[in-house]
Amino acid sequence: MGNQINLNSFFQKQESRHTERLLKDLKLVCHLSSSRTHSSITAPLLCAQSADRISTRGPSSPQDFISSISGSSPRLIAAMWPTLVTLGLLCASLLVNVYQRSAIHGLENLLQEAHPRRVARSVSYYSELSNDESVATQTYYFPLYTQLSSKSIEKLCKSRLEKEAETDVKTENETVSKAKKPPKINRKQERKEKTCKEIRSLGGKTLVGARLHRVGAAVRSGEKWLLTEFSTGYSVFEYRTNGTDDISISSSDPYKVHMLNDPFQGTDHTLIGNGRTFVYNMAASKSIQFANLYTKRLIRRPLNVSNDPLYHHSFSYVDIESDETAVWVIYRKPHEHHLTVSRFDPISLSEKARWSLTHIPIEKNITNSFVACGILHTISTVVSHGRSTNRIAAVFDFDAGSYIHQSAQKTWEWKGYGVPSNVQYDKHSQSLNVFDQGNIYSISLNTE
């Protein structure tokens, strides 16, 4: 009997404790709902009624608690749903936070496993690390958003680069040791044997045409001829002299007429690029221009040119020549009485070298010059009884960078009609092409 009374009192105490906890929870919910529903006092009143009902009777189970709340009014649940949603979001955020912490902890473990070796910083650190093949060849995988210091990145990169450099040096040394050393080559001799031959003598003279004007220029590139009349102008006349074409350079019906954007000056022009680019001195300008006659591309290069004519009895201030390797520009600088020669690359059209030939003064009888196979040749003219004797002399070797002494000079002569206004070397036909007092002729060259 005493045991039964003790059990009843125990259950009554447990029930009263359960009722107190429910009242506290209900009051908390009512307080939150009242703070979120300031515009209505219905929810607090309903909560108070439910609390009084629980305190007087006391629910015997959680089902009675829920029925007591739901039985009070369906509006209570409607007023409490924002609070329930907030509590649910709070729980979800806590779960996400816990998941993120666990993920970060796992990434830290992966990072420690990827770089398990810690070496004290010293002078021999990098050399020691580079000799360790397991470390130097190891591939490192880092997760996104991993925080690495600049020193750590530097160590990783340096170890990898030093290992690769060491491998490359070993491979290169092995290749060099196996290969035979190349013999010493005379670059000048090799270039001349492959690309050009020096002039040995003059061949026959062939008259190509005649013009009415005594001053002009005739430049050649294989079977293509370009003619200009007078010492300045815009028009360039193109002629073709192949075996099946009967058109003469004397004809007034050229193959094509090209009009320059900027007028030329002088009579010493040249052709490069398989006869597509016309190179000339621009009128009223101390510049030369590379004009592609088909694409209309223009490239201008300034020069420091004297205002005096380059040669005696000449209308040119600049003499432009071309041979197998370069474009040569011959001119005089202001207040100088000797030749200056600039070498231009035929592809990039940029100046590559320059020579001031102080030992080649502009003599009274020097009337023209040209460059063939990297050697500068001057032309001296003597006129007597309406006929002229033109003498060619090789004076400077650009490949050797030295003058050709008179004792070793090679000279050749030909008879002409007067002082030529233009003498041009053509590498394709191996000939000299001359505009001489309106007469156009070609002199073949015998080379060695």
Q: How far apart are CA 351 and CA 229, in angstroms?
A: 29
Residue 128, both tokens: 């020691």
pLDDT in tens, the chain (448 residues): 544 445 456 545 655 665 566 556 555 555 555 554 444 444 454 455 555 554 555 544 545 545 554 555 556 666 677 777 888 888 888 888 888 888 888 877 777 765 545 444 444 444 444 444 444 445 555 554 455 666 677 776 666 656 655 554 444 444 434 444 433 434 444 444 546 889 999 999 999 999 988 999 999 999 999 999 999 999 999 998 875 444 567 777 889 999 999 999 999 999 999 899 999 999 988 899 999 999 999 999 999 999 999 998 899 999 999 999 999 999 999 999 899 999 999 999 999 999 999 988 877 778 999 999 999 999 999 998 889 999 999 999 999 999 998 776 789 999 999 999 999 999 999 999 999 999 999 999 998 7
pLDDT at 183: 39
Residues 6 or more apart in contact with residue 250 via CB below 8 angstroms:
209, 210, 211
Q: One-letter amino acid identity for 43?
A: A
Q: Which residues contact 150 (CB under 8 A, 6 or more apart)?
A: none
pLDDT score at 86? 82
Q: Which residue has the tokens 């004297």?
A: 306
- Predicted TM-score (pTM) above 0.75: no
Could you tell me if 227 and 220 are in contact, meaning their C-beta atoms sit under 8 angstroms apart?
no
Give pLDDT, residue 291: 97
DSSP state at residue 408: G
pLDDT at res. 204: 93
**Rounded Cα distance, 317 and 340, in Å:** 12
Of the options 2.115.10, 3.30.930, 3.30.1340, 3.40.1130, the CATH number for the domain spanning 199-447: 2.115.10
Gap between the Cα atoms of 414 and 143, Å rounded: 85
Q: At what angle do helices 74-114 and 2-36 cross, to 10 degrees?
A: 90
Buried b (16+ CB within 10 A) or exposed e, 19-45: beebbeebeebbebbbeebeeeeebee
CA distances from 246 to 8, 184, 212, 253, 439 (A): 139, 52, 20, 12, 18
Long-range contacts of 360-366 (CB under 8 A, 24+ apart): 360/395, 360/396, 360/403, 361/337, 362/310, 362/311, 362/312, 362/332, 362/337, 362/338, 364/312, 365/312, 366/311, 366/312
**What single string gives the DSSP state of each residue in 242-309?**
-TT----TT-SS-SEEEEEEEEEESS--EEETTTTEEEEEBTTSSEEEEEETTT--EEEEE----SS-
Query: What does the alpha-carbon distance between residue 21 and residue 54 come to, in Å, rounded to a whole number?
Result: 11
By three-state DSSP, how is residue 76 classified?
A: helix
Residue 102 pLDDT: 84
- What's the chain's length in residues? 448
Strand partners, 389: 382, 415
- pLDDT, residue 32, reads 52
Using CA atoms, how far residue 372 sits from 50, 123, 290, 397, in Å, is: 118, 62, 20, 10
The pLDDT of residue 246: 47
Structure tokens at 145: 């958003």
Please report the pLDDT score of residue 184 as a whole number: 41
Handedness of CA 329, 330, 332, 336 (dihedral sign): positive
